[in-house]
Structure 1
Amino acid sequence: MKTIHLPGILAMAAIVVASNILVQFLFGQWLTWGAFTYPLAFLVTDVMNRVYGVTAARRVVVVGFVVGVICSVIGTQIMGEYGPLVTYRIALGSGLAFLSAQLLDVSIFNRLRAGAWWRAPLASTLIGSSVDTAIFFTIAFSGALSFIEPANDVSWAGEVLPLLGLGPMVPLWVSLGFADWMVKLSLALLALVPFRIIVGFLTARTT
């Protein structure tokens, strides 16, 4: 692991730790504060990919995954009002979602890197974020997958309500996932600004 990659590694680790903490705190009816910090992981991966290459980006993803696993293990040992802060389904969904989405992001970015500067980070983050949301919320809360952890009662997530309180009738977990997905897509667009600035700064330093 090159020393020059250390800032990216530390940034990814900090984002994963912060998101695991902030996900415990609600923001409105459909979100947690973690929804606003976790998408920054895609920014870190894309910056590393652009400046240092696909191998460096994958290494940072592996570090983020390991840190996430450690956070999940710690979370399973901390008891909240309704049981462990992190259940097995949440840990499994979080780990698979992070690794799948981030590695997909790296691959898509690498394929599009020769195009316009904004195309690779935008496309890779939009697709990666969508996969991340779908995997996590389905594994963590879908009633169809209750066999993964039978002792974990997630029936509350299956309550049928209007989508985000306004749309068609769907299970609650679908609304939670949809709200999370919209935040990720919004931040993917906003992240183009810091992406451009950070890549320019780092590129100038390495040339």
Structure 2
Amino acid sequence: MTRLLPGVIAMAAIVVASNILVQFLFGQWLTWGAFTYPLAFLVTDLMNRLYGPSAARKVVFVGFVVGIVCSLIGTQIMGEFGPLVTWRIALGSGLAFLTAQLLDVSVFDRLRGGAWWRAPLVSSIVGSAVDTAIFFTVAFSGALSFIEPANDVSWAGEVLPLLGVGPAVPLWVSLAVADWCVKMGLALIALVPFRAIVKANRPQLA
């Protein structure tokens, strides 16, 4: 377990930081948490490449538990418009994280024998898309308002141009698309530290 400690610490730090930074807006469509959370896929992929899928799943479960704790704390902290974290957001966050990260592990493992960049890139893209779809749908879609009837998310259903310029869609769809675009960009950028860290630790795997 000692060998996994750097991954465990990194994953926990990313989850905690993202839960804090998601409270602060970055422009009209994003929060600062959108730029830290995708790094969780980098940690998962590094653990998978260096120590295998079983080790990667252990790190994922640590991140999941830390995320649950952060969400539970958030539901007890009152902000200007109510709890910092609603139960829908907590549910969406936990479900999205666990599903997407485990999918990332599975896809990476299937592709680990190909070119060095294929497994981390494809697994991160697939995992990120699933993560975004699950979280924003569960947390903000009007069709799922029965999950938490007392939580008014009508603001997220306001119909506006996609990202301010596209076809008319609910606001939460624009938020999801913006989040997904950041994840895609960071999936590409993360290939640089992924390659460097793997070469430094396991040159034969690089």
For this structure pair, what is the TM-score category when the shorter chain's length is used for normalisation? over 0.9
Deviation (angstroms), 1:20: 0.1
Residue in 2 that maps onto 1:110: 109
Residue in 2 that maps onto 1:74: 73
5+ residue gaps, structure 1:
none
**1:140-175 deviation per Cα after TM superposition (whole angstroms, max 9, x unaligned):** 000000000000000000000000000000000000
Q: How does 1:19-168 map to 2 (within 5 A)?
A: 19-168=18-167
Q: Which amino acid aligns with 1:154?
A: V
Q: Which amino acid aligns with 2:40?
A: A
Q: Which amino acid aligns with 2:36?
A: T
Q: Which amino acid aligns with 2:70?
A: C
Q: Which amino acid aligns with 1:23?
A: V
Residue in 2 that maps onto 1:11: 10
**1:38-92 deviation per Cα after TM superposition (whole angstroms, max 9, x unaligned):** 0000000000000011100000000000000000000000000000000000000
Provide the secondary structure at the position in 2 that maps to 1:177.
helix
Deviation (angstroms), 1:200: 1.1
Structure 2 distance, partners of 1:180, 1:111, is 26
Structure 1 distance, partners of 2:2, 2:163, is 45
Structure 2 distance, partners of 1:201, 1:103, is 26
Structure 2 distance, partners of 1:71, 1:200, is 34
Q: Which amino acid aligns with 1:149?
A: E
Identical aligned pairs, as a percentage?
80
Deviation (angstroms), 1:204: 4.9
Coordinate RMSD, CA, aligned: 1.1
Provide the secondary structure at the position in 1 that maps to 2:149.
coil
**1:175-194 deviation per Cα after TM superposition (whole angstroms, max 9, x unaligned):** 00000000000000010000
Provide the secondary structure at the position in 1 that maps to 2:128.
helix
Deviation (angstroms), 1:205: 11
Q: Which amino acid aligns with 2:43?
A: V
Q: Which amino acid aligns with 2:199?
A: G
5+ residue gaps, structure 2:
none
Structure 1 distance, partners of 2:147, 2:163, is 27
Structure 1 distance, partners of 2:170, 2:157, is 5
Provide the secondary structure at the position in 2 that maps to 1:161.
strand
Residue in 1 that maps onto 2:185: 186
Aligned residue pairs total 205
Q: Which amino acid aligns with 2:114?
A: G
Structure 2 distance, partners of 1:138, 1:3, is 37
Structure 1 distance, partners of 2:161, 2:59, is 39
Structure 1 distance, partners of 2:53, 2:202, is 15
